[in-house]
Amino acid sequence: MNKAKKFVSVCAAAAAMLAAGCSGLTNLTPERVPENSSRVYTLSMSAYINDGSLVRDSIEPFVVIDEQIIPMKEIKDMKYDRLYEYDYTLPKGRNEAKYYFLLKYKVSNNIDGVKKDREMKSPTVYTLKPATRYIVNMQNERGPVGASVTILGRGFDKQDVIRVGGVDADTEYLSRSTLSFVVPPLKSGKTYDVELIGEKGEIWIGAFRVDTAKMGVSPSSITLAGGDIVNMIFDIGFKAPKGGYPIDVKTNIPSSIIMDDVVVPEGQSSVSVMLKAAAPGKGFLYVNGLGFNETTVPVVVNRADTAEPVMTEAAGAINEINTNAEK
């Protein structure tokens, strides 16, 4: 082929492509279709026909499934884009079906008026496989550490676990359609992915934002003499997860306070820890935990003997009262 003929051929092919336009079929059926009791599923497609010679009343849309060519119903007809659907009943005993779309139409030759048949097919064969395990919704999208959140869906089992931000949450199986989980200890003010983890695979549920919580600390202020002891109670408001819930307690007067590490035991919501006063000092306890605001507890430790004059004065007052009463 010489260069002139080759050039003419290329131009002719380009002209044919331009005349045909970008016609095609698009599958609008969701990739994941929830299983339903009627076993009826809507298959949808859009057909884009950019052909000026199209005979409009000649369009025939079909879905080919189980080797049957089935007409589809038109639900919208625009200038170029048309939408079609068909309600398919999945036979009992089957959990999937293969299908593709077919569109037949005619074009008219403007010169001689002869009508010619045309057709388009889906670029691939699709699989309809209704999901037996899926998420409907997560009833809350934000909350503090320790909040209880309900998940609604289908196909749950007792081995399922909800994972938040990569941390396994305490999960309660309520039914095949309902799970509940407790927001695990996580840094507040951030949003985390929530996933369903189980033997049947993993499903992304959504995003959950952890809001800041307030920890209960009692007493709220402390005044002691050296050697005195007070029991402090730390209440997180929810059952501590597996391994317990550690609470970080620091102070700016370390020589004045003797205190063990604070950990809420697994399954408990609070813990009591003994604090012993040592050298005199005045400062604070700084209490922190994942998901909680910092709690500050003022602390005053007096000398051990400063309590004695107070006790002596109080005893003298009592004796004086008793003496006056005898008179």
Domain ranges of the chain: 17-128, 135-211, 216-307
Q: Are 98 and 126 in contact (CB under 8 A)?
A: yes
Angle value at C-alpha 71, between 66 and 74, nearest 5 degrees: 135
What is the per-residue pLDDT for 111?
67
Closest to 146 in 3D by CA, of 216, 211, 238, 267: 238
What is the per-residue pLDDT for 193?
97
In 10 A of CB 314, how many CB atoms? 10
C-alpha span between 186 and 245 (Å, rounded): 11
What is the per-residue pLDDT for 324?
54
What is the per-residue pLDDT for 122?
93
Q: Enter the DSSP assignment of 325.
A: H
Burial class of residue 185 (count of CB atoms within 10 Å of its CB; 0-12, 13-18, 19+): buried
- The tens place of each residue's pLDDT in the chain, 327 residues long, gives 444 433 333 333 333 333 444 578 999 999 889 888 899 999 999 988 777 677 878 889 999 998 899 999 998 766 567 899 999 999 998 999 999 999 998 888 766 667 888 899 999 999 999 988 999 999 999 999 999 999 999 999 999 999 999 999 999 999 999 999 999 999 999 999 999 999 888 999 999 999 999 999 999 999 999 999 999 999 999 999 889 999 999 999 999 999 999 999 999 999 999 999 999 999 999 999 999 999 999 999 999 875 444 444 444 444 454 445 555
Q: For the stretch 139-153, what's the b/e string if a residue is b when 16 or more beta carbons lie within 10 angstroms of its beta carbon?
A: eeeeebbbbebebeb
Q: How far is CA 145 from CA 211, 215, 293, 294, 314, in A?
A: 7, 10, 11, 14, 47
The first and second tokens of residue 313, run together, are 């004065």
- Fold match between 135-211 and 216-307? yes
Q: Are 184 and 193 in contact (CB under 8 A)?
A: no
What is the per-residue pLDDT for 115?
82
The first and second tokens of residue 173, run together, are 């199986």
What is the per-residue pLDDT for 272?
97
The CATH number for 216-307, chosen from 3.20.20.70, 2.60.40.3450, 3.90.245.10, 3.40.710.10, is 2.60.40.3450
Q: Are 48 and 81 in contact (CB under 8 A)?
A: yes
* CATH 2.60.40.10 matches 135-211: yes
Strand partners, 207: 193
Looking at this protein, which amino acid is placed at residue 321?
I
Closest to 172 in 3D by CA, of 237, 235, 239: 239
Name the CATH architecture for the domain at 17-128.
Sandwich (2.60)
Q: Are 189 and 167 in contact (CB under 8 A)?
A: no
In 10 A of CB 274, how many CB atoms? 11
The first and second tokens of residue 145, run together, are 């550490």
C-alpha span between 187 and 144 (Å, rounded): 10
Q: Enter the DSSP assignment of 17.
A: H
